[in-house]
Structure formats: structure tokens, C-alpha cells
């Protein structure tokens, strides 16, 4: 089932996320015979915007923040991608994440291109007022970039429905109207979609179940560890547990826990709710080192926090048979080769975490339509779309005798290539 052809050597500069994208893009392009012209178009983002944002802090001093937005491609539709608030946000990271959005939307069969944005800041150190002023300043600076049919942001690490509500409000003020579809991931009640909050975690669950089926494994007899207990990780852990999968390890930036008998995820959720969103102090397991979660003796590993955590060294020690990438870019290209040699199946980020953008698309459709679906409708459409995407990627992995990651890139590249050739204005 897992293909064991000799992995193609990769060349990429350590720490450059965009090089990690190009490494995979080049391998996939070669395997599926993508034209050099199309490859070159996709190696270069369409537009990169960088702004400086002066913000009045609570201490009365003005602080300058750096804001970014990269539009990687608009070939298949308006560009779509989240906004990240973190200290490591930079050109390289935003560029990489924007390219993954192009491929993710194509894999998910939704009519969008790819973009990503971010602000270099530590969201945990900002007061609510500072965060609001920063978000509004960013929106004003990006007013000519964003647009319902142009570029549509959403939440990512460090942002949530709260920031999306400020963005739509600021945008509405600037353009003097009501444009709910300019951003997705909004709170339900101001144009958000039911089911959006849990959507990425739900997609992780659906793709995990689809992979277990291919592997002939019973969900009720397998164990998992989940890194990250934010939006993606906490919903993924909850939903995997609800399908009978025993979650033996969970962790966030404050603490990591192991429980052979299975962690009570509902108790962990209650704990984070009562403790400012963090796992520190949870007593439902033994505390272990953060990296031990990645190499724990479980069947499924779900990285749902940071990029570049599955390095060569970690990959050599991974015991899981299946890795489901809830996070974007958790595995380095060098680690890919090791996992492939070990026969570990990796459901790549551009497939596994595509549930978020799929329900974002449903939110945008509902905003345009002015008519809102019930949660069952959202879930049914989401599950069907995720299963279709999984099957297409699985098929391409098998057909081209490669990994699911390269199978996913091939799935995306062929669709984007079709778009480029059909439009053909070069
Ligand atoms: P979030 O901010 O809600 O949560 C991030 C989690 O990671 C938190 O639990 C945090 O404590 C944890 N974390 C941070 N540093 C850590 C460390 N050093 N060790 C262990 N855990 C650490 O973010 P999120 O929205 O859940 O995003 C997580 C990942 O999923 C990111 O890669 C993001 O790009 C990706 N993603 C998110 C969505 C979405 O809809 N939110 C969609 C697709 C992909």
C-alpha cells in the first residue's frame, strides 16, 4: 500500500519554509511532467505586500509592527488564506504558507487561489485594546488588497473569530457598506458559518478515518498523540476521541502529557477553558518532554501546532504508522524521505487541514447567497468534499507510485496547470 520507491533527494536551505515548498513542487512537477512554464509561474508568488503599522499601545507610546500579505496565485479564483499573529512571521514564512493555500484549495476542489498574511507580534502579550487597534491598522493598510472577490482572509495561528469581526467591521467602515464575505471565520451571528470553528479538526478526523480504512485498522483499536491544543489540535483530539481513537498524548506550548489509558479530552478542554486556554497544570496524565510526544509509542501522530517539528532526527524515531498533518509544514523535506523509507503514511497538510478552508468557502458562499445552512448541512457537505479530496490524492499517490504528499501536489498542480492553460494570457 505504501509505495517504497527510492526517495528523490531534495535540496533546500534549512529553515526556509518557501524552499521546503519548492522542494516538493519540483519533485511533483518532475513526476507528473508539469511544463517548465507552469512550474516557473508557481515558483513565484504573484504579489507581496509589506506594511508598517503604527499602533498606540496602552502605555501611551506608539509601537511599529510589521504586517505582511502574499498573494501566491489567483489562477483558480480569488486568493484565500489566513492571517497569523506570531513572532516568527516573515516574508519567507508568509510566502510558503500562501503557496500551500493555492495547492490546498486546488486539492479541496474549491474555486480559490492562495494567499497568506501575518503580523510579527506576540499576541499573548497584547491587551485586547492593543490587539484591536493593530488588527484595524492592518485592515486599513490592506484595504486595497482584500476584497470579497479579490482576496479573502481567515484566522490562523494567534487569530480567531474575534479578529475577523474587527477586520470585517473596519473594512465595512472604509468602503461604507456591508461586505461579510470579505473575511471568513467570523463569529456565527455576524455572518459566520456553523461548523467553521471545528472544521479544520473535523477534516483531520475525516482524513484520519479514511486512511485507517485503507490501512485496514479499526479506529477503536488505535492510539494517537496530538501536538497543539489550539483551534486545530483541540477539535481534532476531541473528534478523534469521539470516534473511539484513544488519545494517549496531548501538548501545547506550556506542557505535554501522556496517559497510556487514554487522556480524558473533555477534561482537558474544561481545564484549558478555565486556565486561560493552556494545558499547564492539567492532571489527566504524566508530564513528558514536548518532543517525546512526537516519538511516542502510538499508531497515529497528529502535529497540529508548529512548522518544522518533524525533522530528520525526529523522523528516525517516529513510531506512529500514520501521520496526519493538522499544522502547516510540520515535516521538513529531509524528514519526508526518512518517513517514506520507513513506510509511514503521511496525510499531508495540503489535504489533512483543508477542512478549514472548505468550510470557509461554505461561509463565503452563504454570505454571497444571504442564506444560512444548518450545521448538519455544513458537516454533510464538508465530509463529502474531504472524502473526495482524500480519494483523489490517494489515487494519484498510487498511480504515480509516490507518497501521499507528492500525490497531493500532483493533484493540485494538474488543476492549476489546467487553469493557466485555459486562461492562457501569457
Ligand atoms: P492556535 O493558535 O489556535 O493554536 C496553536 C497551538 O499550538 C496552541 O495550543 C499552542 O499552545 C500550541 N503551540 C505553540 N507553540 C508550541 C510548542 N512549541 N509546542 C507545542 N505546542 C505549541 O492555532 P491553530 O489555528 O490551531 O493552528 C495550528 C496549526 O494549524 C498552524 O500550523 C496553522 O497554520 C494550521 N492551520 C490552522 C487552520 C485553522 O483553521 N485554524 C487551518 C489550517 C491549518
* Residue 15, pLDDT score: 73
Which ligand 1 atom lies nearest to the CA of residue 154?
40
Name the average pLDDT for the chain: 95
> Is the shortest distance between the CB of 358 and ligand 1 below 6 Å?
no
Ligand 1 mean position to 354 CA, how many Å? 14
Percent of the chain, pLDDT > 90?
95
Ligand 1 mean position to 5 CA, how many Å? 33
> Is the shortest distance between the CB of 229 and ligand 1 below 6 Å?
yes
**Protein residue closest via CA to atom 15 of ligand 1:** 253
**Protein residue closest via CA to atom 40 of ligand 1:** 356
Letter string b/e over residues 124-156, b meaning 16 or more CB atoms within 10 A of that residue's CB: eebeeebbbbbbbbbbebbeebbbbeebbbbbb
Place of cell 510566502: 95
Ligand 1 mean position to 378 CA, how many Å? 23
User: Which residues, 6 or more positions from 59, have their beta carbon under 8 angstroms from its beta carbon?
Assistant: none
Ligand 1 mean position to 157 CA, how many Å? 5
Domains with residue ranges and CATH for the chain:
1-44+196-353+395-419 (3.40.50.720), 46-182 (3.40.50.10860)
**Catalytic machinery residues:** 116
Mutate to test the pocket of ligand 1, among 107, 131, 225, 233 (most ligand atoms within 8 A of CB): 233
| β-sheet with 300-303: strand ranges across | 286-287, 256-258, 246-251, 223-227, 300-303, 322-324, 345-347
Ligand 1 mean position to 305 CA, how many Å? 4
**The C-alpha cell of 250 is what?**
496531548
> Is the shortest distance between the CB of 156 and ligand 1 below 6 Å?
yes
Q: How confident is the model at residue 425 (pLDDT cuts 50, 70, 90)?
A: low
User: Which residues, 6 or more positions from 106, have their beta carbon under 8 angstroms from its beta carbon?
Assistant: 76, 411, 412, 413, 415, 416
For helices 199-214 and 375-399, the axis angle rounded to 10 degrees is 40
Exposed / middle / buried, residue 87 (Cβ in 10 Å: 0-12, 13-18, 19+)? exposed
Parallel, antiparallel, or unpaired for β 256-258 and 246-251? antiparallel
Render pLDDT for 41-91 as a digit per residue (tens, 0 to 9): 999 999 999 999 999 999 999 999 999 999 999 999 999 999 999 999 999
- The secondary structure of 133-145 as a DSSP string is HHHHHHHHHTTTT
Render pLDDT for 113-129 as a digit per residue (tens, 0 to 9): 999 999 999 999 999 99
Percent of the chain, pLDDT > 70?
96
Which ligand 1 atom lies nearest to the CA of residue 159?
2
Mutate to test the pocket of ligand 1, among 87, 116, 232 (most ligand atoms within 8 A of CB): 232
Mutate to test the pocket of ligand 1, among 228, 311, 389 (most ligand atoms within 8 A of CB): 228
> Is the shortest distance between the CB of 327 and ligand 1 below 6 Å?
yes
pLDDT at position 195 over 80: yes
**The C-alpha cell of 272 is what?**
484549558
Instruction: Record the pTM.
Output: 0.94
Q: How far is CA 60 from CA 55, 130, 138, 291, in A?
A: 10, 11, 19, 41
Ligand 1 mean position to 216 CA, how many Å? 30
Render pLDDT for 268-300 as a digit per residue (tens, 0 to 9): 999 999 999 999 999 999 999 999 999 999 999
> Is the shortest distance between the CB of 81 and ligand 1 below 6 Å?
no
> Is the shortest distance between the CB of 162 and ligand 1 below 6 Å?
no
Taking the C-alpha atoms of residue 16 and residue 114, their distance in angstroms, rounded to an integer, is 19
pLDDT at position 5 over 50: no
* Residue 76, pLDDT score: 97
Amino acid at each position: 500500500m505504501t509505495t517504497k520507491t527510492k526517495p528523490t533527494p531534495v535540496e533546500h536551505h534549512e529553515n526556509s519554509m518557501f524552499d521546503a515548498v519548492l522542494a516538493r513542487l519540483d519533485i511533483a512537477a518532475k513526476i507528473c511532467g508539469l511544463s517548465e512554464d507552469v512550474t516557473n509561474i508557481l515558483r513565484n508568488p504573484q504579489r507581496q505586500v509589506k506594511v508598517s503599522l503604527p499602533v498606540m499601545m496602552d502605555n501611551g507610546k506608539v509601537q511599529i509592527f510589521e504586517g505582511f500579505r502574499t498573494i501566491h496565485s489567483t489562477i483558480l479564483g480569488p486568493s484565500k488564506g489566513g492571517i497569523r499573529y506570531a513572532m516568527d512571521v516573515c516574508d519567507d514564512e508568509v510566502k510558503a504558507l500562501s503557496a500551500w493555500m493555492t495547492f490546498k484549495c486546488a486539492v479541496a476542489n474549491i474555486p480559490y487561489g492562495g494567499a497568506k498574511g501575518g503580523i510579527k507580534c506576540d499576541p499573548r502579550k497584547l491587551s485586547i485594546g492593543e490587539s484591536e487597534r493593530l488588527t484595524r491598522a492592518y485592515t486599513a493598510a490592506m484595504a486595497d488588497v482584500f476584497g470579497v472577490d479579490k482576496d479573502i482572509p481567515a484566522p490562523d495561528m494567534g487569530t480567531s473569530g474575534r479578529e475577523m469581526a474587527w477586520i470585517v467591521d473596519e473594512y465595512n467602515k472604509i468602503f461604507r457598506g456591508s461586505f461579510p464575505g470579505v473575511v471568513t471565520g467570523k463569529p456565527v451571528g455576524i455572518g459566520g458559518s456553523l461548523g467553521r470553528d471545528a472544521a479544520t479538526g473535523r477534516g483531520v478526523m475525516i482524513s484520519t478515518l479514511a486512511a485507517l480504512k485503507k490501512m485496514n485498522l479499526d479506529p477503536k483499536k488505535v492510539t494517537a498523540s496530538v501536538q497543539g491544543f489550539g483551534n486545530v489540535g483541540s477539535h481534532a483530539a476531541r473528534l478523534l476521541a469521539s470516534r473511539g481513537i484513544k488519545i494517549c498524548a496531548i501538548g501545547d506550548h506550556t506542557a505535554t502529557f501522556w496517559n497510556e489509558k487514554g487522556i480524558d479530552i473533555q477534561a482537558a478542554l474544561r481545564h484549558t477553558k478555565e486556565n486561560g486556554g493552556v494545558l499547564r497544570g492539567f492532571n489527566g496524565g504524566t508530564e513528558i518532554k514536548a518532543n517525546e510526544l512526537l516519538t511516542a509509542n502510538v499508531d497515529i501522530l497528529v502535529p497540529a501546532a508548529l512548522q518544522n517539528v518533524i525533522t530528520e532526527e525526529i523522523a528516525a524515531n517516529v513510531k506512529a504508522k500514520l501521520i496526519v498533518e493538522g499544522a502547516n509544514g510540520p515535516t521538513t523535506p529531509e524528514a519526508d524521505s526518512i518517513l517514506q523509507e520507513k513506510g509511514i503514511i503521511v496525510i499531508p497538510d495540503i489535504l489533512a487541514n483543508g477542512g478549514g478552508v472548505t468550510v470557509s468557502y461554505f461561509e463565503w458562499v452563504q454570505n454571497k447567497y444571504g442564506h444560512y445552512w444548518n450545521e448538519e448541512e455544513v458537516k454533510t457537505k464538508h465530509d463529502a468534499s474531504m472524502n473526495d479530496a482524500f480519494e483523489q490524492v490517494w489515487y494519484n499517490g498510487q498511480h504515480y507510485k509516490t507518497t501521499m504528499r507528492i500525490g497531493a501536489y500532483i493533484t493540485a498542480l494538474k488543476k492549476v496547470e489546467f487553469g493557466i492553460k485555459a486562461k492562457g494570457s501569457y
